[in-house]
Chain A
Amino acid sequence: MKPAPPVTKIRSAIERSLRTPPPGPTRPSFWRSPLRGPWLTSILGSALLPLILICALTGFLSQAAYNPGLGDNSLLPGGGLGIDIYFFHWPTSPSWIYAFTQGLHVVSGLAAMPILLAKLWSVMPKLFEWPPVRGAAHALERLSLALLVGGSVFVFGTGLLNIQVFYPWPFRFLTAHYYGAFVFLAAFGLHVFLKVPVALRTFRERGVLRPLRPGLADTVAEPYEEGHVAPLAPARPTISRRALLGTVGAASLGVAFMGFAQSVGGPIRELGLLTPRSTQLNDGPNGFQINKTAAAVGIGPQQTGAAWRLKVEGRAKRELSREQLLAMPQHSYDLPIACVEGWSTTQRWTGVRLLDLAEAAGVPGDAEVLVESLQKGGALRQVTLSSGQVAAENSLLALKVNGADLSLDHGFPARVIVPGAPGVHQTKWVATMKFTDA
């Protein structure tokens, strides 16, 4: 008998090894947990789906809230393929709209994280499935899963560290979080499209909530099926499905509540425990949350003393001292500062209507305004407010808060308070306001 040519030998060796996985996690018998299975994965996925949709929607709304089409408001590089352009101006009513949408963004993101971890645990055997690639469709799907896992950890992780003002990375948070979300959501959309039928079939077969009924003694593994996550050789269970999901659910509700507490604020703020804005500065009229202190952005009393003048420009040019501003008609409104980081605080602000300042600048009609701060650096030292924001009767250049003068950290001598706008558009230490026809 002629010896087989070497190429044939190699091919048959490869075929053999593809049929038999090497010892370790690539063998189905490696995975023992009796709880892993299509039902567990489906129920975790069903919990994640609405949370991720809410988080994505409110995330894109946050971008819209910056009115990126105006002036230099867009913090993202470039105009892109046109899908970063928003076709509406952010509303000024209700005044808590951004507190609500952005609070929801951070709370839904926090709530999703424990469930995401459980979901990743539940599908671990798939990472090691054998053979690693079964064909073109399978290869593309696995590539997409790499984007899904990497994208989810990246987007959730950057958001989570950003709210803690912790930046261990070299890139700009906003750009990476925003465009990373495109990668994540693209992979997520495909995953939902491919897996919803699997989940529906599983729920039809096992029931949606029926597997929660058995206690530990009656917990049995889901039947093994090749290519799925139920174990081939399940160990005896040490926890019931309802205890596992109860723990994950408790974790999710717990962190969601922590986020909720710093978003709603008031008496429940301190119950936020671990969320970054769960403590109060002090009980004074200026004792509420500060996004960035005067010291952090290099503002000192020498710039904000008696020599400070507000430059108002339009068809007329005016320079107004704080006394002159205080002599104008004063109005008071309860309005929130709502930070992109998901915390909010509502205070009573007193000051001059932006509309009155537009009139002083000789642009009484439909005016936009470019507001510039004394702050030297940073993309947010300036903002362009829309004509709707200028026209709202409760849009103020605030001089006082809760009956007291603004503190330096809250923007003394004067700051913008616009209902419904993101906190970073409530420009502090205002130096100039340039009104133009919209």
Chain B
Amino acid sequence: MARFRSLYGDSPLHLLAVLASFAIAGYGFLRIAETPTALGTLVWFAGAAIAHDLIAFPLYSALNLIAHRGVEGPADAWEERRRVPLINHVRIPAFLAALALLMFFPLILGLDSANYEKDTGLSGDVFLTRWLGLCAALFLGSALIYAVRLRRAGRGGEPADPPAPHPEGT
């Protein structure tokens, strides 16, 4: 047992679970391999594996850094007085708007609206307008909440959260 562990690096149960998992995954791949578009499917599968980790993640991390630099900037006198950090009032609505776009980009950008309209008989034009409306509502709502928090902080009520410090924060 100890010998197995030193060779394999974990318990026999771990190996059994891994093998069971690979057997089922292998079945899925096998069935895909039988289709005439097997290669195309595998390329998309591999693309999906790197789409988040190596493309989306660096991109949104960079955007987050830029947002921090742009929104917080160097502290000045006004900054000192402000006492209510702005960053989350920008990046939370921005995140929600971006997520909506990420999930529904084919409809919002009308990438294949001819096909959509032919199939459904509906107009494909509404989604861009609705998404822009959603963006407006999100940022407006966030700005309103920010204004209320600023006012409260200005009145010297409850101390607000400390200013957002480090750009690499989250």
B-contacting residues of A (Cβ < 8 Å)? 32-35, 76-78, 80-81, 83, 110, 113-114, 117, 120-121, 124, 127, 134-138, 140-141, 144, 146-147, 149-151, 153-154, 157, 160-161, 164-172, 175-176, 179-183, 185-187, 189-190, 193-194, 215-217, 235-239, 243-244, 247, 250-251, 254-255, 273-277, 279, 281, 289-293, 295-296, 409
Contacts and interface: CB of A to CB of B under 8 A. Distances in A.
B31 A114 contact: no
A250 B131 contact: no
Given A140-B18, A144-B18, A146-B49, 4 more contacts: A167-B115, A236-B166, A247-B92, A250-B96
A141 B18 contact: yes
Interface residues of B, number: 70
Contacts of B123: 279
B126 to A, nearest CB: 6
B14 interface: yes
Contact of B41 (A165, A176, A255): A176
A135 B4 CA distance: 12
A149 B49 CA distance: 6
B28 A243 contact: no
A138 B119 contact: no
A169 B120 contact: no
Interface of B: 7-10, 14-15, 17-18, 20-25, 27-29, 31-32, 34-35, 37, 40-41, 44-46, 48-49, 51-53, 57, 68, 85, 87-88, 92, 95-96, 99-100, 103-104, 106-108, 111-112, 115-116, 118-123, 126-127, 130-131, 134, 161-162, 164-166, 168-170
Given A175-B35, A238-B164, A153 B18 contact: no
B27 A239 contact: no
A240 B128 CA distance: 32
- Chain B contact residues, majority secondary structure: helix
B166 A32 contact: yes
B44 A182 contact: no
A293 B25 contact: no
A217 B162 CA distance: 7
Given A164-B104, A238-B165, A274-B107, A182 B57 contact: no
A112 to B, nearest CB: 11
Interface centre among A35, A160, A238 (most CB of B within 10 A): A238
A134 B170 contact: no
Given A180-B32, A274-B108, A293-B119, A117 B169 contact: no
12 contacts: A80-B31, A137-B14, A144-B25, A151-B25, A154-B45, A166-B111, A181-B28, A216-B85, A235-B168, A238-B165, A239-B169, A281-B122
Given A164-B104, A250-B96, A279-B122, A136 B28 contact: no
Contacts of A147: 25
B45 A180 contact: yes
A99 to B, nearest CB: 18
A175 B53 contact: no
Given A136-B7, A137-B10, A144-B18, A176 B134 contact: no
B40 A251 contact: no
A356 to B, nearest CB: 31
B52 A149 contact: yes
Nearest to B19: A140
A193 B166 contact: no
